[in-house]
Structure 1
């Protein structure tokens, strides 16, 4: 079964051109950009975890334990997965969207009309596509991440482009 998680990647200016240039370089360059991206994402992961714990509703602290760094060519972190959380052992992907985006009513066998409009029995009212947690941290840190990743990519292209290493 595939893992169900939400992965956030930050929009970086010129990323396609840089990644295209990196494909022309040796495999060591790919490995190094993955390592550098993981280090950049590792700076963001604790902030995202704290944000999910603080703003993710009652399930936020449980969900915050699933935030981890994804090793990719661009900085990425993920939350969710198939790990069972809480006293009812619900999978993380099952509570993920309700905690991060909110929900308007419960779904499943316990969704009776009497619970539908009860604000005490839901995470919070769904207000559209804006996230309460996780995404705002990535948006706040986007310029820093973009600057650091571009600097790392430039250094790697210079290092390996001239026959180094």
Structure 2
């Protein structure tokens, strides 16, 4: 089956080493990191929803943008939910609204960098990195010495 959502895992410097270190900590430490990552992803998801409202096609995607619980901030958009007056699945509108199209007139002009989803994630990169590293440091300080 084809993938019907965009899932973005935000890239953070040193993340692989951090996740490797999580594996040495108790499960409760990972749970706390998942909660912190979800909080960060929720803030970014709100920004993405606001950016999506700038165009009628991308505005259809607003209800599908959501944060996912993981050890790193993850945001998803799209899916099989039906949107618009013609009730088409969101995944059929998602990529045209994000990247544009060369032949379909209902979408903006093609732009390889994206219009609202990836552009907003990139804009929020410093916030994401700062908050995530602060949360990771707090979790390691708390659980690194035995909880």
TM class, shorter-chain normalised? Answer: over 0.9
1:2-151 equivalences under 5 Å are: 4-54=4-54, 57-106=55-104, 121-127=105-111, 129-151=112-134
Contact (CA 8 Å) 2:52, 2:116: kept in 1 or not? yes
Q: SS where residue 78 of structure 1 aligns?
A: strand
Q: Which runs of 5+ in 2 are unaligned?
A: none
Q: For residue 11 of structure 2, give the secondary structure of its aligned residue in structure 1.
A: coil
Distance across 2 between alignment mates of 1:39 and 1:124: 32
- SS of the counterpart of 2:102? coil
Aligned residues: 147
Hey, what's the Cα distance between the residues in 2 that align with 1:132 and 1:139? 11
Question: How far apart are the structure 1 equivalents of 2:8 and 2:62?
Answer: 15
TM-score normalised over the length of structure 1:
0.84
| Post-superposition offset of 1:95 | 0.4
